[in-house]
Structure formats: structure tokens, C-alpha cells
């Protein structure tokens, strides 16, 4: 593994690994704070830091689902962060990570890969405008999947608790298609960033040097890690209150689940919920209008259900 310095967070790049979540957890365990002797462990890291790879072989998504892909075609990244807010005020942290992914996606597509790079004086303005229009079609499915305008999944986010109150935020982002699982089978309902950003004159869709309009994985990791840390720092400053930080409003604006018919599959023995997503409450929970009244959903697997009412919109 080797370190890459992002704007404000170090990124540990793994050539390949089972799971970036597990690597980050191991680095935390080897950190000076975790050492009983108090001596610095050469392999340990203190938050914030990120672990990233383009060859994750045993990753996991929400609800225990496996997450793996063909080497070089996807980015797996885990950010280790110690929230300033107490455990009872952390419900928005996984959700604002979705906002960071949206910002990062817009930054790593198009001429150049640096955050805020508008392509410079030589950029093709029409091409930039076209790409920006495509990127505006990307939105968040509650709680934190990232979808293309046609509903295909571009990225997913997993939040897990690490040692000593550390939050491990894992992101899986499809960079280059076709999106395949570990066995080589194409994943239905998934899309890669190069398919959304591709130009007619672009190079090979599998290129890893940015010639297809998408940043190389290590560069994309630096951009994503910085974007995640910025969103988490903003939420830290508001003591976990996304209403105060303004992130709740931003999330609602980009959440494509709101005002959709949904089916929420219950987990851990909870009953399922079917109805229309009405909004997001102050704690980041999904409000679903049902025939029995409004239900509050804090966890579950959400499916967007297309009805005649949705088709007419």
C-alpha cells in the first residue's frame, strides 16, 4: 500500500484488498491511540484518513450484500472519521456522504480532474455544458444510493462503526463499464460513470488514464476523500444537525425518492411499508404516506415502484 496526499485527507492506496472497510479498521487498530504502550505503530493511522482501491474482492454493501467488481473498473473507498457529534446525533452522517459523492462525481468527470477545474481556457464549452446536464440527472435514493437519471445504480454507501467512536464510511463507485460482479457476470440495474460522461470522440471506455472523460481511480479517490471530509466537517460544525448546516435542504433537493411510490422491505422482523415517500424528517428518516397514515422509516431496503401516477408526471 502507498499513501497519496489529498487536499485535506491522506489516502492509503491498496493495489488490491478484500474490503477497504476492513483495511481501515486494521489501520485504526494499529494506530498510536490504540497502542497500549503509546508508541507509534508504523502501519497505523489516525483519523481522518481514507483507504482506496480499484480491486476490491470481498467488499460488502448495505444489509450485508456483497460488493465486488472487475479490477480497474470501480473505486472502493473508506473514510475513517471521528464525528464531533455524540452517538445519538449521527443519523445524518451517512446521508451527507451521498452529497459528497454527487460533488465528487461532478468533479472527476470532464476536462481535468482537479476539484473546481472548469477545463481552462481551452475547454470545449459545449462539451462541458453537455456533461454538466448529464451529471445534473444524478440523484440520491434514500438513504444513500446514487442513481443515474434512468434509475440505474452508480454508487452505494455503507456506514459502519469503528473502534473508539470512529465512523467508517465506505463508498463503491462504478467508474468504467460494463459493470460486472466478481464472477464476471454483468450486474443488472447498474451503470458506470464513463457511460454517462462518454463523448463520441472519447478513447477506449476501459482507459484508466482519463482519456474516456473519467479520472484515473487514484485521482478519483483523492477527490472523493476530500469531498467526504468537507461534508462531514460541515456536519461536525453543526453538532450533527443537518438543518442548521443546510445539508438537510440540499439532501432533499437531490433525493429522487421523495414523491415516489415506494416499497420498503422490513428487516430484523420489522413489517414492510408500501406508500408514497413524502419527505425526510429532521433525523434523516424517510416519511412514507400509507393507507394507515404516515410511517417513519429509519432502516430498510427501498424500492422505487412505478405507478400510473408516477408515469403521468
Domain boundary among 209, 228, 249: 249
| pLDDT confidence of residue 232 | 97
Round to whole Å and give the CA distance between 150 and 106: 17
145 and 89 in a common domain = yes
192 Cβ partners below 8 Å, 6+ apart? 73, 74, 154, 174, 175, 176, 177, 178, 179
Asked if residue 154 and residue 286 are part of one domain, the reply reads no
The CATH number of whichever domain residue 132 belongs to comes to 3.30.930.10
* Pairwise pLDDT comparison (305 vs 114), residue with the higher score: 305
Backbone angles phi, psi at 188, to 5 degrees: -70, 145
| DSSP 8-state class, residue 214 | B
In this structure, the answer to whether residues 14 and 154 fall within a common structural domain is yes
Give tens-digit pLDDT for 171-216: 999 999 888 776 778 888 999 998 887 644 444 444 555 556 688 9
The pTM of this model reads: 0.83
Q: Are residues 168 and 268 in the same domain?
A: no
Rounded (10°) CA dihedral 107, 208, 156, 84: -60
Q: For 75-90, write each residue's pLDDT tens digit.
A: 999 999 999 999 999 9
Q: Are strands 49-53 and 10-13 parallel, antiparallel or unpaired?
A: parallel
Same domain (yes/no): 95, 13: yes
Confidence of residue 59 (pLDDT cuts 50, 70, 90): low
Residues 56, 59, 61, 66, Cα dihedral to 10°: 110
pLDDT band at 57 (very low <50, low <70, confident <90, very high): confident
169 and 194 share one domain: yes
253: left (phi over 0), alpha (psi -120 to 50) or beta: alpha
> Domain count of the chain?
2
Same domain, 156 and 126: yes
pLDDT higher than 50, residue 127: no
What are the pLDDT digits (tens) for 261-294?
999 987 666 778 999 999 999 999 999 999 999 9
Residues 241, 293 within the same domain: no
Task: Supply the pLDDT for residue 204.
Answer: 43
**CA 59 remoteness from chain centre:** 14
By residue range, what is the domain housing residue 187?
2-249
Whether the link from the prior residue into 300 is cis, omega within 30° of 0, is: no
Residues 157 and 293 in one domain: no
Please tell me the predicted confidence (pLDDT) of residue 223. 94
The reply to whether 238 and 270 lie within a common domain is: no
Residues 287 and 161 in one domain: no
Task: Judge if 19 and 52 occupy the same domain.
Answer: yes
CATH of residue 306's domain is 2.30.30.100
Amino acid at each position: 500500500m502507498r499513501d497519496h496526499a489529498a487536499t485535506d485527507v491522506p489516502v492509503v492506496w491498496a493495489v488490491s484488498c478484500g474490503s477497504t472497510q476492513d483495511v481501515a479498521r486494521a489501520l485504526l487498530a494499529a494506530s498510536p491511540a490504540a497502542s497500549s504502550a503509546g508508541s507509534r505503530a508504523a502501519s497505523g493511522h489516525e483519523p481522518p484518513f481514507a483507504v482506496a482501491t480499484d480491486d476490491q474482492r470481498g467488499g460488502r454493501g448495505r444489509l450485508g450484500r456483497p460488493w465486488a467488481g472487475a479490477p480497474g473498473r470501480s473505486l472502493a473507498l473508506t473514510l475513517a472519521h471521528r464525528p464531533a457529534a455524540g452517538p445519538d446525533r449521527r443519523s445524518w452522517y451517512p446521508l451527507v456522504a451521498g452529497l459528497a459523492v454527487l460533488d465528487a462525481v461532478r468533479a472527476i468527470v470532464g476536462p481535468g480532474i482537479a476539484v473546481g477545474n472548469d477545463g481552462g481556457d481551452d475547454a470545449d464549452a459545449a462539451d462541458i455544458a453537455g456533461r454538466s446536464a448529464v451529471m445534473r440527472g444524478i440523484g440520491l435514493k434514500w438513504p444513500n444510493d446514487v442513481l443515474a437519471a434512468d434509475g440505474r445504480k452508480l454508487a452505494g454507501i455503507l456506514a459502519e462503526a469503528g473502534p473508539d467512536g470512529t465512523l467508517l464510511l465506505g463508498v463503491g463507485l462504478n467508474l468504467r463499464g460494463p459493470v460486472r460482479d466478481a464472477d464476471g457476470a454483468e450486474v443488472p440495474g447498474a451503470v458506470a460513470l464513463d457511460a454517462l460522461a462518454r463523448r463520441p470522440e472519447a478513447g477506449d471506455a476501459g482507459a484508466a488514464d482519463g482519456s474516456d472523460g473519467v479520472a484515473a481511480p487514484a485521482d478519483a479517490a483523492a477527490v472523493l476523500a476530500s469531498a467526504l471530509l468537507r461534508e462531514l466537517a460541515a456536519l461536525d460544525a453543526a453538532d450533527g444537525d443537518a438543518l442548521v448546516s443546510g445539508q438537510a435542504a440540499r439532501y432533499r433537493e437531490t433525493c429522487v425518492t421523495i414523491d415516489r411510490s415506494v416499497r420498503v422491505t422490513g428487516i430484523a422482523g420489522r413489517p414492510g411499508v408500501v406508500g408514497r415517500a413524502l419527505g425526510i424528517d429532521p433525523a434523516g428518516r424517510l416519511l412514507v404516506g400509507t393507507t394507515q397514515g404516515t410511517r417513519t422509516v429509519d432502516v430498510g431496503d427501498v424500492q422505487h415502484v412505478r405507478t400510473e401516477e408516477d408515469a403521468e408526471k
